[in-house]
Amino acid sequence: MSVKRLAVVLLFVLLPLQGVFALPEIQTWTTANGARVYFARTQGLPLLDVRVVFDAGSARDGGQFGLAALTSAVLDTGAGDWNADAIAQRLDGVGAVLGTGISRDSASLSLRSLTQPNLLQPALETARVILAKPRFAAEDFEREKNRVLLALSQREESPADLAGIAFFKAVYGDHPYAHPKDGHVATVEKLTRDDLEAFYRKFYVARNAVVALVGDIERAQAEKIADDLVSALPPGEAAAPLPPVPMDQPAQTLRRAFPSEQTHVYSGQPGMRINDPDYFPLYVGNHILGGSGLVSRISEEVREKRGLSYSAHSHFYPFRVEGPFLMGLQTRNEKADEALNVLLQTLRDFIAKGPSDKELDAAKKNIVGGFVLRLDSNQKLVEQIASMAFYGLPLDYLATYIPKIEAVTKDDVRRVWQARIHPDRLQTVLVGANSAAESAQ
């Protein structure tokens, strides 16, 4: 029995995965008006994926919460000579898929098209005009604003959404990451068409943009496409750096009553940034704690041992500046405090003792062995490359990823987690039935 196990382990050693997978070659250049471009050629399917990403996420809302989101939502509803119907017909007629969306850090336009020239050209031309000449017509603005207002109202049906909003507010205070990216009813109601246009003029500019291209096209064609897409944008200026995240918030536990069968529980603090020097020990550690699905410690303690929750997890969400470290679960109302205690105790144990050799080994095997699964489609590649371009990660980021995972030691994980994650300073939110009553004790 033990001999057989040893044989299996040896097999892993003999098959180093990083040697097997040829990473896609990433090329980069800057357009004449200042937009950075990342390009990877893939072959096998006649399709092209494009992302144009601006530093224009909800962190740029200023006091007008929801401005970045509404600007993004209205952007593709009218441009140049076309109204929303004309744009939709142009894209659907060639089978292209165009979308816009935002995160806290970024606003992006995505396009997927076949590479056949008579299909690709109309799709690219539509995207170009949307970026360069959006109309922000009054009718489109009013309609989209009303739809957003309804969606914000619907958010009040969801204890999970309410808990998430409260969590970000608790962690980030007055920082631009604190408010929900779609804003609040009161702030969106005040937005005007002119606000959107001003936001667009300031942030949708070449020096504030990156372009990512992945698909079956040549470098020369990629250069032309990138140029065409952003050529009509003024150079403008890159957005100013975001303010630092407040790192010393004292612990709070917030409870909100909601007539649901489950209580949603979130607990966490500011986590890490994209270029964080501690990224690898934090990431590998979290894989063990709560980031690897059913085999993680949190899932084992909360779900597998006690049947308390369908989903119990922990994650880092790395942003431009410190994104959150977040642990979460949902459970029947009467078990909320018990489940929260299990969650917190699991975190405290992990920080005090760190991972075991066996856990660290298993986590590395999963991350290293699964690395190729993160890059095995055009869709995943373009997301990865757009993110590298937007955050200015080095071109060898993917090539050095596995060695950096392999280099993480047990001591690294324990030391870094003790320095960075503070169980006595967590922001904890509970939303569910009886939550408020319990807080009186």
340 binds another protein (CB under 8 A): no
Q: How many residues bind another protein (CB under 8 A)?
A: 98
Helix, strand, coil percentages, rounded to 5, for the chain: 50, 20, 30
122 binds another protein (CB under 8 A): no
Contact flags string 290-329 toward another protein, x per CB under 8 A: --xxxx----x--xxxxxxxxx------------------
What is the DSSP secondary-structure string of 5-53? HHHHHHHHHH--HHHH--PPPEEEEE-TTS-EEEEEE--SSSEEEEEEE
Nearer to another protein, 35 or 188 (CB): 188
**Closest distance between another protein and the C-beta of residue 126, in Å?**
12
80-113 in b/e form (b: 16+ CB < 10 A) is eebebeebeebbeebebebebebbbbbbbbbbbb
Cα distances (angstroms) measured from residue 389 to each of 223, 254, 286, 386, 404: 15, 38, 25, 5, 20
Q: At what angle do helices 193-203 and 138-155 cross, to 10 degrees?
A: 90
Question: Which residues, 242 to 261, sit near another protein by CB under 8 A?
Answer: 250-261
Nearer to another protein, 30 or 158 (CB): 158
Q: Closest Cα partner for 225 from 236, 235, 215? A: 215
Question: Which residues, 59 to 118, sit near another protein by CB under 8 A?
Answer: 84-85, 87-89, 91-97, 112-114, 116
Question: Which residues, 188 to 227, sit near another protein by CB under 8 A?
Answer: none
Question: Which residues, 169 to 188, sit near another protein by CB under 8 A?
Answer: 169-170, 173
Q: Closest Cα partner for 313 from 294, 336, 332, 333? A: 294
378 binds another protein (CB under 8 A): yes
Nearer to another protein, 240 or 440 (CB): 440
Question: Which residues, 3 to 32, sit near another protein by CB under 8 A?
Answer: 12, 15, 17, 20-21
372 binds another protein (CB under 8 A): yes
Q: What is the DSSP letter of 433?
A: T
Q: Show the CA angle centred on residue 256, arms to residues 250 and 258, nearest 5°.
A: 160
Tokens of 434: 């009886």
Contact flags string 384-413 toward another protein, x per CB under 8 A: ------------------------------
Q: Are 290 and 314 in contact (CB under 8 A)?
A: yes
159 binds another protein (CB under 8 A): yes
Nearer to another protein, 97 or 419 (CB): 97
**Closest distance between another protein and the C-beta of residue 67, in Å?**
20
**Closest distance between another protein and the C-beta of residue 329, in Å?**
9
Nearer to another protein, 30 or 42 (CB): 42
**Closest distance between another protein and the C-beta of residue 302, in Å?**
10
Nearer to another protein, 106 or 331 (CB): 331
Query: How far apart are alpha carbons 71 and 113 in whole angstroms?
Result: 24
CA dihedral 74, 78, 79, 82 (to 10 degrees): 170
Q: Are 229 and 31 in contact (CB under 8 A)?
A: no
Query: How far apart are alpha carbons 385 and 15 in whole angstroms?
Result: 27
Amino acid at site 21: F
124 binds another protein (CB under 8 A): no
Nearer to another protein, 89 or 275 (CB): 89
Tally Cβ neighbours within 10 Å of residue 247: 11
Nearer to another protein, 184 or 224 (CB): 184
Nearer to another protein, 244 or 370 (CB): 370
**Closest distance between another protein and the C-beta of residue 409, in Å?**
19
Give the range of 33-41, 150-158, 188-196, 201-209 binding another protein by CB under 8 A: 150-158
**Closest distance between another protein and the C-beta of residue 12, in Å?**
8
